[in-house]
Every structure is written in C-alpha cells, then in structure tokens.
Structure 1
C-alpha cells in the first residue's frame, strides 16, 4: 500500500494532521500529494467522519475518503484522554508541522497550546484552521464553509439580482482556507529554515480566506460608495464576457472584453464592422451596451452547433470554453494528457478515476502512492515504534481505548 518510491519536493517533511472533514485535512492533502509524510490522527474506532460522508458509495466505501486521505498514514488516538494527549505530544515532538482545525481553545484545553508545543519542539510550524480565526469577537463560534462564504461578502455577490444568493456546489470556503493555510505553512517553513529554526503559528480563517477573493470590492466601496451586486452569468459593465447558447442547447463561455479580443470575435461572427461601432468600440462602451451586445452574440452563437461554434472561436483565437459536466471533464483529452484526471488502481476500489496532483512541477512532481487506509489506525505499529512503543504496549493501549 505504501511501497511507491519517494516523490515530490516535500520528501523528508513530517506532518501531524489533527482534525477532520475538509479544511484542515485538505492542508494535509496538499502536503501528502507532494511527498510529505502525513500522519493523520483519528479517533479510535470511528475515525474521521469523512470516512462515511457522501450520498454515493462503492461497495460500502465512501467516495470522499480516497480524495481526502490519499498518501496519508492513519494512527488512532483518543485525544480526550490524558494518555492520548501525551501520545500526541510524542508524535508532535518529532514533526515539522502540526495541522489542526478544532474549535479555537481546544488544543489549549488538551495541554497543547502553541507555547507548550514550542517548548517541546521549537521548530514546529502550527497550522490552525478555523471559521473565524484564533482571536476576535467571533473566535469561539464554530464555523463551516457556508457561513464563512456568507459573512465574508463572497456569497452576497453570487447568483442573480433580486434572488436569494445561492450556495456553491462545493465547500469552497474550506478549500480556499486550506490553500491559504498551506501557503502560510510553506512561508513559515521557509522562514524557519532561513532564520534560526524557530517555528510559528499560521492562523487561517474561513471568513478571511473568502474575503481575500473579493478583488476590488473593498476599494470600490471605500472610495466610490459602490456595493457590488450579484450579476448572474456575467459581470456588470464587462462585455462581452458571458455564457452564450449553441444550437444544440449547450452553453459556451466567451470572454472577449479586451479590445483586440473583441475584434477577433467580430471576425469569427462574420460581422467585423461591430468592432468599429461606437457602441462597442471601447471597453467602457461595450460595458454600457452589454445587454444589446450579449443579445447579438447569442443570436449568432445559437445558429451553430457547439462543435462548429467552438471550432470557429478557436480558429479566430477567441477566449472560450464549454460549460462541462464532470462527465465531460473526465473524458476531455487535454485534462487526461495533463494528468488533471487519471486512473488509479487500488486494492479497495479497483480502477478508479481520481483528480491528479496540481500544480505540475518539472523536476519534483507530486504523485499518488495510495488512496488512504480503510482501517483507522492502520499505521499504528509503524508510527508508534518510532517513539519507542513495543507491540505489547501498543496492544494494551488499543484494549484500553487510548488508540
């Protein structure tokens, strides 16, 4: 299961992942996909709830687990027990990174505050993922992605005018936070290794990660009093940049709001005169006349089947892309060749199609060694032997529910 040759730029990095579900474990996933040894700490017996999440399963096994647990090693620890907390400290003492996404204050109650952990392991980078951060009036609140997306302002601008703002079809806030947390972790490791070996805390909040995606909305409000509103399938005053129908009922995104790109689009449409029409000749003019322009483009696009439409857009160098379902993504030859989608053989799932490892590194690419252990604590013997526990001790701890 773990016999694949070492790979990736993070070889030699040891990460202890404590937490569950999405945001914290996805930080661990980024580490594991690029070669770090990620030791996932799970509650004895039940393990991470993601093991049983999701509507769809394969032969009783959830299809979320192989994404969130791949390349990781599982150990079981009852973190609510004093012996379990001591065991966790022993693992953390040998680690480069600790990832946790418990409610703020939980580590402190378990005798694992940053100060205590740094006294034990001065070089430790502690990545703390939470809904609202470790400080501030809302710090003690539990937080999920949907709430962070809402409170940050991100959800407000999603959807259509005069309609309730819909949620995204994924836990976007969790993934964004994990990416920012991973970024902070790498910066903290760089600083540690360049400046005397001292670790630090990375405090990553879902609300702030979503807020960071809001582009110019803050400065627009600050200096112009503008509160950006949801704009449906396009962006206000940005044209053409929308979805347009093909004759067979599918939709294609066309983004030609830059002057040179718009001129190419008019050539693809067979209407090059539109590029010099005063209503469309500049970015600002097109924004003021977006409704009319979108209507004209849609009339043209709807006269062509999607294959002919996309071929013509490609011929003239227009930025475009079909709106793919996951079925179309999985079958797309570009994504296959790039390794974005790949088939992996696994003892539990057989041959299963999984996401690849991104970004692509030329010299030390990430890889997929295994899809995560099905058994909670599958690596107990291997990992606990490192801290001096023998087989009898491990068995005794298991019997007593510590691991």
Structure 2
C-alpha cells in the first residue's frame, strides 16, 4: 500500500483512555498506509471515506475550487460558514481544491491516483469518463486502484443516468412504502439521509474486500452501488415472501410482521417504550410481569401465529398495562422480568443516558474554527486498533498546498499560477 505522510503527533483514541495502555499514534491505526482520494459529494460515498479515515486511512477530500462540497452548506450552519454535518462527517480528512473538469486539473488528479489506493466517487455514470478519469483510464495508471462508485441506480440499467437522492432511494428501494401508519401515507423512515449513510457503509465493506484482494496479489477493481440497492438489501423477507406466496407487505405503523406484541406503547407519564416479543418465551415473560400469566397458556395467545391473528387484542392488553404506569416503572418491571423493553429516546434523552456515557458514544472535540463540538464516536469498536480522531472537517482547500507539494512536488510559483487559473 502507499507510504503514509503526515502528522505523527499523539491523538486521543475514541475508546476510553482507561481501556488502553497508551494513546495511539495515527500511524498505528489499522488502515495506516492506505491513501484515499475522496472526489465525491454530500454523504453516500464520502461517508465511506469517513469510516476509513476514522481507522487511520489518509483521506484527501478533493473539492471544486471556490464552492466546495454541497455538504458544507447542508444542515445547521456554524460561525465558520460550514455546517455541523460537515464538521462531523468530514472529520480526519485533508481538504484539497482541484477542478477535474480542466485538462491540468485532471492531469494533477491522475498523478495523485498513481500514488493512492482508493478513489471514492458519486457522479452520474459517465461523468468521469467524459473528463478522461474514468476507472479504466485510472487503472491504466494504477493497476491496483480500488474505486467506489455510488450513484442513484448504479452504473448499469435503464435508469443509470437518472439523478437521485436518499429520499428517492427510500421510495424506489421499497422502504418508504413500509414506513407509516396502515391508513396513512408513506413517510420518511427516520432520516432523509439514511440511504446515503447505508451506502457509505456498504461502500466501506466493498473497499475493504477489494483491498484484501489487492493485498493477496490481485488487481484493483471498482465497487458499484446504487443508493436504492443499499436499502432494498435490508428489507428482510419481503422479496422471497412475494416471489413464493404473493405477499405484499403493507405499512403497519409501529408494529411488525410475523410477531406480536412488537410495538411502541405510551406510558402514564406521556412517554413511550418499545417492546419486542420475538418468540413465545419472551411473551411468556411479558404475560407474567403484566399479571396475565393465563395468556401464555391460552390457545388464543400462546403462539406467535395465534397472537398475530389477534394482534389488536394483544396490543390492547399490553397498551392498557403500560398506559397505567410511568415509563421508569415499566422499564424496571420489564428489566427484572427479562422482557426486552426500552425507552423511545429523543436526542435530549440520549445525551443524559448512562449507557451512552459509559460507551463514550458521544465525543467532545475541539474545532479550531468553532470551538467545542460533540459528535458521534466512531464504530465499530476494535479492541486492539480502535479508531483515532485527528480533527473535524477542515476549511475549503486547507491542505491544498501541503498535499500537492508533498506528493507531487509542486512549487509555490506553480501553485500560485494554478490558483489564479482556478485549477485549484
């Protein structure tokens, strides 16, 4: 893999310092010596870069001169002009401006590719080919190159050239049709960016698999992901159920198919809890803590099939019991009775929760431009090579000169000319 350059100062790990003998150096992280060129925009492919950067990869974010990635303006703006989304999700990335839609910009990019391991992109299919920097052209320069290509519908098929965002992917991928109340319209499934984040995660898996192949002596390759595919792949049995039995799952609100009770219930103090009885043993425990042990032996309620047939009745019994108690008491009774039950949290609740604090899921960091920030900590949690944090999302072009000087040997006069010609 590539030879890493950069700052070797000590940085705090995401994992608790008490759990480690010493802080990790960036060059001790698991993906050290992997260089990634992130020429993508917004979240989907760039989130792959965020994951790789969390674990030590040198990620060079390449943006259009003067305007930068649209993610800089998406979300809550801060006093530095960039948004909280940018500061959090572009962490650990160097930022370079480079106009790939110019001959000299494309040539500089090719030279960077020759010294890199991975390229992340999410342009419409054919765009990079038009600029002369498509995968085949880049592979001729670097046969070991791994390229992640994320687009709305993938690189092939009749819709390959159509634009799309996560909301469209949720709809086309079948997720939106399942979100909402049975008698209401399809709704946003939690976050309008869900498909973007999931695609970034699939992308990271693909990149790591491809890098493993290179490590074993194989050639580079590209990973092709359509946003809609990322959500469709997570929809459990809806495809085989339709193919074999013609079942078309409909919206069920907080309920779920095949099991009951498995829903959200309001407590006496106006809060909510989630209850998950995925099998008969769990229901037996719930029936016991509700004081309705008879339900666990009744032929009308004892099995999952019977409870699904009487879903409304079962939900009413559970709702009545939970609705008569405050949330804290419901949680305590269920915990002692071995019943899977959890609070339905807002972000305010999350910030106060002891489990989040114990796991250090929220990380306080200092940004040189806006001061103290709290951002989600990296996952997964590795016991020997945990993630490392170096910095939040940087200003536009903050590392242009240092990257182009250290990797390509460009001098000050050349950088000044390129900047005047808006190549960088």
TM-score by length of 2: 0.92
Q: Out of 203, 227, 230, which is 2:251 matched to?
A: 230
Distance 1:58 1:302 in 2: 45
CA offset digits 1:267-324 (Å, max 9, x no partner): 2212222211211111111111111011001111111111111111111111111110
Equivalent in the alignment of 1:148: 169
Matched, 1:68 2:89: yes
Residue pairs, 1:51-66, within 5 angstroms = 51-58=72-79, 60-66=81-87
Runs of 4+ in structure 1 off by over 4 angstroms are none
Q: Distance in 2 between matches of 1:264 and 1:362?
A: 35
DSSP-derived class of the 2:275 partner: strand
Taking the aligned partners of 2:37 and 2:84, their CA distance within structure 1 comes to: 23
- Shift of the alpha carbon at 1:58? 4.5
292-301 or 387-396, larger mean C-alpha shift: 387-396
Q: Is 1:90 matched with 2:147?
A: no
Partner of 1:373: 394
Q: Which residue of 1 aligns with 2:149?
A: 128
Aligned position for 1:178:
200
Contact 2:78 / 2:370 at 8 angstroms: preserved in 1?
no
Q: More deviation in 346-355 or 75-84?
A: 346-355
Q: Secondary structure, in 3 states, of the residue corresponding to 1:310?
A: helix
Contact 1:154/1:213, CA 8 A, preserved across alignment? no
User: SS of the residue aligned with 2:120?
Assistant: strand
Cα distance in 2 between the residues matched to 1:60 and 1:189: 36
Gaps of 5+ in 1: none
Aligned match for 1:139, one of 146, 160, 181: 160
- Kept in 1: contact 2:259–2:277 (CA 8 A): no
Range 349-358 or range 339-348, more displaced: 339-348
Give, in whole Å, the separation in 2 of the partners of 1:329 and 1:282: 35
Distance 1:108 1:61, change over 3 A: closer
CA distance in 2, matches of 1:15, 1:205: 21
Gaps of 5+ in 2: 1-5, 12-24
1:273 aligns with 2:305: no
Distance, in Å, in 1 between the alignment partners of 2:286 and 2:269 is 21
- Pick one of 97, 106, 111 that aligns with 2:132: 111
Partner of 1:192: 214
The alpha carbon displacement at 1:236 in A equals 3.3
> Which residue number corresponds to residue 238 of structure 2?
217
Q: How big is the shift at 1:61?
A: 3.9
Deviation at 1:243, TM superposition (A): 0.6
Query: Which residue number in structure 1 is paired with residue 224 of structure 2?
Result: 203
Instruction: Find the counterpart in structure 2 of residue 32 from structure 1.
Output: 53
Residue number in structure 2 paired with 1:383: 403
| Structure 2 residue 347 is the aligned partner of structure 1 residue 326 | yes
Q: Is the 8 A contact 1:71 1:371 kept in 2?
A: yes
Deviation (angstroms), 1:231: 0.7
Deviation at 1:353, TM superposition (A): 1.1
Contact 1:16 1:95 in 2 (8 A): yes
Count of residues paired in the alignment: 401
Partner of 2:361: 340
Query: Cα distance, 1:237 vs. partner?
Result: 3.9
Task: Tell me how far apart the structure 2 counterparts of residues 24 and 177 of structure 1 sit (CA, whole Å).
Answer: 7
Q: Return the alpha-carbon distance in structure 1 between the equivalents of residues 95 and 219 of structure 2.
A: 28
**Corresponding residue to 1:308 among 329, 344, 355:** 329
SS in 2 for 1:57: coil
Q: Distance in 2 between matches of 1:251 and 1:321?
A: 9
Deviation at 1:25, TM superposition (A): 0.9
The TM-score, its normalising length taken from structure 1, stands at 0.96
> Over the residues paired in the alignment, what is the CA RMSD in angstroms?
1.5
Say whether 1:102 aligns with 2:123. Answer: yes
2: CA distance, partners of 1:288 / 1:265: 18
Partner of 2:414: 393
In structure 1, how many angstroms separate the alpha carbons of the residues matched to 2:415 and 2:122?
Answer: 27
What is aligned with 1:254? 275
